[in-house]
Chains A and B, each alone.
Chain A
Amino acid sequence: MPEAVTKAMPELAEIQTVIDRFARNGMRGALLPLLHALQEEFGFVDPQAVPLIAEALNLSRAEVHGVVSFYPDFREQAPARHVVKLCRAESCQSRGSAAIEAELVRRLGIGMGDARPDGQVALEPIYCLGLCAIGPNALVDERPVAGIDRAAVERIVAEVTA
């Protein structure tokens, strides 16, 4: 937990350091790249960062908030330590992803879209990884995994709950 706690409250000064990189380079339409950078650095976009971003890019806070809340990738809270993103799109469904989803939900003890209260693991939906003939597919902590069967579910669960 200590790590998660520090991650949960990135110092504003650290946030500012990341923001400054973008504010200085004069990139046009820098908001998404900046949000990605913050998320890469801290795991999420702290709402406290929004006024700083707005100031740096000369936007209103409302605009930044509107953008953060629009895109599913941007989180406003620290993520779980492990994230399993399971594809829910048609091609994976045609290859039995619904059953795999049910199995993962059962084995992890959390619903689709939820995180375990201890912050250990989250199960998130994703719509297509472009691996559509070899599903069901997932990203396990950003690593692509194809052809997930029950045995693969066991391996994934073991990995993310360890």
Chain B
Amino acid sequence: MTRVFVSRDMASVALGADDLAQAFARAGCEVVRTGGRGLFAIEPLVEVETSEGRIAYGPVGPRDAAAVLDGTHANRVGVTAEHPFFARQQRFTFARCGVIDPLSLADYAEHGGWKGLEAAFRLSPQEVVDAVKASGLRGRGGAGFPTGIKWQTVRDAEADEKFIVCNADEGDSGTFADRMLMEGDPYCLIEGMAIAGHAVGAGHGYIYIRSEYPFAVRTMRDAVARSAGRIAPFTLEVRVGAGAYVCGEETALLDSIEGKRGQVRAKPPLPAIEGLFGKPTVINNVLSLAAVPFILSEGAEAYAEVGFGRSRGTMPVQIAGNVRNGGLCEIGFGVTLGELVNEIGGGTASGRPVRAVQVGGPLGAYFPPAMFHLPFDYEAFAAAGGLIGHAGITVFDDTVDMARMARFAMEFCAVESCGKCTPCRIGSTRGVELIDRIVAGAPRGAGMLEIMPQMRNARTAARTQDEEIALLRDLCDTMKFGSLCALGGFTPYPVLSALDHFPEDFGGASALPEAAE
């Protein structure tokens, strides 16, 4: 019986992979459902097991089964790993994703699974922490804080109870690596968490997954149940978010697990000292934790060898939006933005010129092609007024209206603000109103109140467009430096970068003539 492999990843399913799988089953094949390979342009994808390895076809539909099975289908990709999109990659974390049946413990073990955990158990907890430190692994959630140092803090904290929390509340548009890993290789994350538990002395862990990822929730729950014996006495629990983006902020996430409103806590205390239920807590992103089994099984040096500057190892970059070869590209730090967008991504899907890319989700800056020389590296992006964030790149072609995108950034902040701090709570709403006026070219005149004779101190003259833009910059300043967390604090990045790099979209803001009067 021919074995074929069809992804069960949510993206593949959204593109029709379930129908495809059924068609092959009807054609008498043994269908193995894997995770996603990570290149959407060739989805729905089917791989046929042959003596030369797995031969991929895609995109293909349910009616293409016969042609695929007799090898005549036009969309023959060949050996999947040899596809140029994959050939350049260094898959440390995503090595198994798309290859194995995500829930098969046998598959996982056959493909190098649990080796990291076994290695960890042979080491003392401190040695495990030291290995993670030596690997140079930095938090993949966006802040880039060294993971080993965080673990050390938790390890050193005295407490009757500690926790490992996985932040799987990946809400940034343009990112999907966490989702793919959880759907495609859940045991890898579980193994990483178990290693963390061993290293810091935590007995229980939580995986907090956003509710927008129902497939990941199901897969992780199933995987946690099946692997319980393998990671005992460490235990794990899946918790599901409820539509609040801000819960991706680590302290809001902890409050949410505790059953509270997902409001951001002031730091200090750090979660590593006083985290979940007031106990020392490792809170790491999915990709950080999933990188750990490789570090333990292959050695810290193998991981640290790759990379650029202080950014060591690989980064699963997600190329998204209006792009031809959208997908997941795990690659060492240092690759340039231009290489990612144009060479690996293949330019826009629409075929029109790239006008802007947003790096790092809704709180990331917009960059024009003029900045495509930037190397993918935490420090380089920070220096350029942006951030890598969760390494999502959203590509826009030249039809994009950047003032509209700036407005959207403020709107998104207003929609998702937890409401705790003032700059974010009120500032985002004022930002939307202000950009609307700027875009309409209709600066604010004196309001009903301001023109009342009683209001002696109020200015009655209308504002100028310049003044409105200056106010927008001041508002961004207040939000950036005044906000409690990154939601309010980073919303100015997309707004200001749009304003800086694309002033022409803000109604002639680039060359403001003096008011005529």
Contacts and interface: CB of A to CB of B under 8 A. Distances in A.
A66 B255 CA distance: 13
Contact of A132 (B318, B405, B408): B318
B239 A128 contact: no
Contact of A36 (B178, B242, B258): B242
A63 B11 CA distance: 37
A71 B243 contact: yes
Contacts of B261: 66-67, 70
Given A73-B211, A127-B412, A133 B319 contact: yes
Interface string A55-74: 00101000100110011111
B14 A134 contact: yes
Nearest to A131: B11
A130 B175 contact: yes
Contact of B397 (A89, A94, A131, A145): A94
B259 A127 contact: no
Contact of B408 (A70, A90, A139, A145): A90
Range for the number of chain B residues in contact with chain A: 35 or more
Given A133-B326, A134-B14, A142-B214, A90 B173 contact: yes
Interface in B37-81: 40, 43
A40 to B, nearest CB: 10
A146 B174 contact: no
A71 B326 CA distance: 31
A9 B279 CA distance: 40
Contacts of A32: 239-242, 256-257, 259
A90 B323 contact: no
A35 B242 contact: yes
A29 B278 CA distance: 13
Contacts, number: 152
A130 B176 contact: yes
A135 B415 CA distance: 21
B513 to A, nearest CB: 31
B108 interface: no
Given A128-B173, A133-B327, A93 B408 contact: yes
A94 B415 contact: no
Interface in B406-462: 408, 412, 415-416, 418
Given A89-B173, A128-B175, A133-B318, 10 more contacts: A28-B258, A71-B241, A90-B362, A91-B320, A127-B415, A128-B173, A134-B43, A135-B321, A137-B14, A146-B15
Interface of B: 10-11, 13-15, 40, 43, 170-176, 178-180, 211-215, 239-245, 256-263, 277, 318-323, 326-327, 349, 358, 362, 392, 394-397, 400, 405, 408, 412, 415-416, 418
28 contacts: A31-B260, A32-B257, A32-B259, A36-B211, A67-B261, A70-B244, A70-B418, A71-B241, A71-B244, A92-B173, A95-B321, A95-B349, A126-B212, A127-B212, A128-B175, A128-B212, A129-B213, A130-B11, A130-B178, A130-B212, A131-B11, A131-B176, A132-B320, A132-B394, A134-B11, A134-B43, A134-B326, A146-B11
